[in-house]
Chain A
Amino acid sequence: MPPFLVIARLTIQEASRRRLLLALLILTLVVVGFSAWGFNKITTLTRSNGEPLPPDQIALLTSQLLIVITFMFSGVLALSAAVVAGPLISSEVESGLLLSILARPVRRSEIVIGKWLGLAALVALYAAFAGTLELGAVDWATGYLPPHPVELLAFVAAEGLVLLSVGLVLSTRLSGITAGVIALVSWLIAWIAGVVGDIGAGLENQALANVGVVSHLVLPSDGLWRGAIYAMEPDTLIAAMRALGTAGRANPFAATDPPPVEFLGWVVVWFALVLALSVWSFRSREI
């Protein structure tokens, strides 16, 4: 097995042995259970005259509630990825854990890539598992399934990977706490900048709109979140928002268009650049 896969396996093994996976599993089951119960209540709502809500209104309510829940889920996933990635390298340098490994015929790039791969696999698998479970629960409770579930999970996972990558690159130089906090704050700033960009688009103010564009390029987490929202919106809602013109765009929990292909291409390049920067930074670090 090449060294980077050994390191990736070790990273997954650590998460498993330290009971991170077990804790996530239990928390996920609790949250999904509660949300299924809550979503099921929507189907029992009635109008003032005692008639049950029509199916399209239930679908609309469910889709909006699902967006809010997904926002929280993607946020928790992104923050967890940042917090776990922050100390990924720095803590092992500080504790001396990496000393005996680096004296083996292992390139530093293999350590960086191995750790990224291991954690990326965990983030992607967890997003797929927890997301599928939640969508399944919502489908069971209300009969509603978002129009593009696979894309939704891909966008949510990618957002987690962005924060993981930011945490990792910082971890090559900064202490775990510092790296985690910077990644976390960056994520929040990017989200706020995305909202500012939305307001700019709504008001047709180019300068404000550019803030959103630039923030999506520097840290694509918010851009990916918009992709996740779009994947959750029923066609009727999208049509209604488009009818509102630019004003329909000024909402951080709504998207009138899917992310442009150019943006998705940039995200791939962004991942490559950040990984390359991580490798360079760790290779030039003295231990």
Chain B
Amino acid sequence: MPEANLELQNEVAGLIVSALNLDISPEDIQPAAPLYGEGLGLDSIDILEVALAVSKHYGFQLRADNADNVSIFSSLASLTRHIAAHRTK
């Protein structure tokens, strides 16, 4: 991963921790581990909170064709890649 993306990844981890008021530090989030279910344990309520923070912070809105299809959130790394490709600020 390029250095800029690594920096973004750390920033996104911090955004998740602060948006959800998690009692862990951003470095504890494994980049490839699932964010929901058995990984970090987020659920759809959390995902929507993070989506709000992402849209506010990076100036674009997340989209999915269906509520079941929120694969951008499969891991911190995939969310970071998606933000890097779509951010407007």
**Same complex:** no
